Chains A and B, each alone.
Chain A
Amino acid sequence: MMQERPKGLKDYSPLFYPAIMLIIFFVIPFGTMIAVSFFQREVGGFYTVDFVTSNYERFLSLFFGKVLGFSLMLAVLVSIACVAIAFPFTYLLSRCSRQVQIVWLVAILSILSLSEVIIGFSWSTLFSRTAGITNILVSLGFMEKAQSLYPSFGAVLTAMIYQALPYTILVLYPSLVRFDTSFLEAAKTMGASPVRAFLNVLVPVQRNTIMATLIMVFVFALGSYLLPQILGRPQHWTLSVLITDQAIYQSNMPFAAAMAVFLVLMSLALVGLTLLIGRKEGAAS
């Protein structure tokens, strides 16, 4: 392409407005949050300006350790489950006719865009005693009496997989759709069954994509802020729920900000890792 070096101020002018907007309304809020994480909590108000590290010292508590451990464990489970379902699914989808792909993509996008509030509400209905799946099991004769399946860990996990699955599919879609099928043709010619070819050829070749997707979905799952609250018990709360709770209900903005800073650093480290994997992949091919 004919990209030209910007010569005068005039050539830079299209950049002014976006740059100002992003700096004022993204960089500065981000900086404010970091600053607030060192402020003193003010009961009944927002905060008082100060420089204390006590908000960070609270990370050393057993309570925080438990929440962090649970959040990480939950996000790992969600990302593994999602990739395990989405990888074969997206592969099959990428081999389909364009029409079939479009129908699925519209459905997947519609679910991906759904509010976490609506996903939480839908699953709480599906797990409820009066309108839930147990009613179907009762009418089929598998169960004696309908019962409520939430709040429980299983309910949180299911809903979070539901939320992250469309995202996983869309992250995998570009690389799987571009995948050169000649590898598989070769395997087929050599007499490998489709399942064997999938497991022994496609999965190893796409190893880096799978790793990068696992991390992306992991970060996505870390961000779930409502589902553990709607479908779980207090011990199923994650870091994101805790941040919301501290910021809004306990009005302890400095502590919430400190936890958010921690979450940023963790997410950035993981996103950095995916970029590194991507670069390795680029160098290898």
Chain B
Amino acid sequence: MNRAMTLFFYLIVAVFLLAPVLVVIGVSVNEKQSLNFPPEGFSLSWYWQIFDDPEWRAALFNSLMLATTSALVAVSIALPLSWFLWRRYAPWANIFRLLGVAPFILPPVITALGFLTFWATTGAYGEPWTAVISHGVFFVTLPLVTITLGFTSIDGSLIEAASTMGASERTIFRTVVLPLILPYLISGYAFTFVLSLNEYIVAYMTVGFTMETLPIKIFNALRYGYTPTMASVSVLFVAVAALVFGLIARFGDLPKLLGNLSGEDR
């Protein structure tokens, strides 16, 4: 009875979570340019369209550029910060941890508007690199959390041993710490990459009028009606996210990254 109930509950949640995705997959393979479900005919041409149509291709390229570079910015801020907070005793410096987490907890519109007023005031409004920095700072939370988790799981005696043997801070970091936290570093990068790829409001408020990322392009297209390419791009996004998180789960410890610190196999 308990088991049946569990399965039933799972099924309902799964249907709710998957229904929109399934319908979008369905409409993305319509043969004609119409919004129909169940699909009429079968065609993968709308997927080809993402790479063939110059506008969609440009948006795809912009999004990929933005996601790869802004994730780099986020990790470059998070790594030294979490290293310092872990290695040194300086309680006041925790204010920077708070600053790193704040954009993620506050409603995104606020951070987006902050960037809009800032870039408008400094005169750089609309430059593509402003979006890179904005996304990098906006998502710094993710690598900060994963890398901090990586540091706390390092056995302190390793560092002490290296230190006693006369290794400098720099050497300890390069030869002992970095290899141990590398999986967490990569996870942090990957999380940021996926979220930056999907992010709309910050990108829109910084470069919305000069550069189209995929989410901006979808939204603009949505306002003028329906094109099946929106559906195929959406499916592509779900696939990329599932692939990235699947890889993290395959090569890393996903439950631990999400706060399951028990570590044992139930």
Contacts and interface: CB of A to CB of B under 8 A. Distances in A.
B226 to A, nearest CB: 8
B109 A19 contact: no
B230 interface: yes
Interface residues of B, number: 98
Interface in A107-126: 107-111, 113-126
25 contacts: A4-B87, A14-B81, A18-B100, A21-B136, A22-B96, A22-B137, A25-B137, A36-B117, A88-B9, A102-B249, A105-B254, A106-B249, A107-B242, A113-B195, A114-B237, A121-B222, A126-B19, A131-B36, A222-B107, A223-B108, A223-B109, A225-B201, A226-B219, A248-B205, A260-B110
Contact of B35 (A28, A46, A131): A131
B115 A29 contact: yes
Contacts of B106: 219, 223, 264, 267-268
A174 B84 contact: no
Contact of A117 (B160, B200, B231): B200
Interface in A206-246: 219, 222-223, 225-226, 230, 240, 243-244
A113 B77 CA distance: 22
Given A114-B198, A117-B222, A19 B96 contact: yes
Contact of A173 (B134, B238, B245, B260): B260
B34 to A, nearest CB: 7
The DSSP consensus for interface residues of chain B is helix
B58 interface: no
Contacts of B262: 177-178
B113 interface: yes
Contact of A122 (B21, B81, B108, B241): B21
Nearest to A169: B13
B182 interface: no
Given A5-B90, A107-B242, A162-B17, A130 B34 contact: yes
A126 B15 CA distance: 13
A118 B93 contact: no
Q: How large is the interface on A (under 10, 10 to 19, 20 to 34, 35 or more residues)?
A: 35 or more
A154 interface: no
Given A32-B117, A257-B113, A115 B20 contact: no
A33 interface: yes
Contact of B218 (A117, A133, A219): A117
Contacts of A17: 76-77, 80
A234 to B, nearest CB: 15
Contact of B17 (A21, A28, A107, A132): A107
A69 interface: no
The DSSP consensus for interface residues of chain A is helix
Contacts of B234: 118, 121-122
Contact of B109 (A88, A135, A243): A243
A60 interface: no
Interface string B215-254: 1101100100000001100100110011001100100001
Contact of B9 (A18, A92, A219): A92
A103 to B, nearest CB: 8
B245 A106 contact: yes
Contacts of B9: 88-89, 92
A33 B205 contact: no
Interface in B27-41: 27, 34-38
Contacts of A106: 242, 245-246, 249, 254
Contacts of A113: 191, 194-195, 198, 241, 245
A244 to B, nearest CB: 6
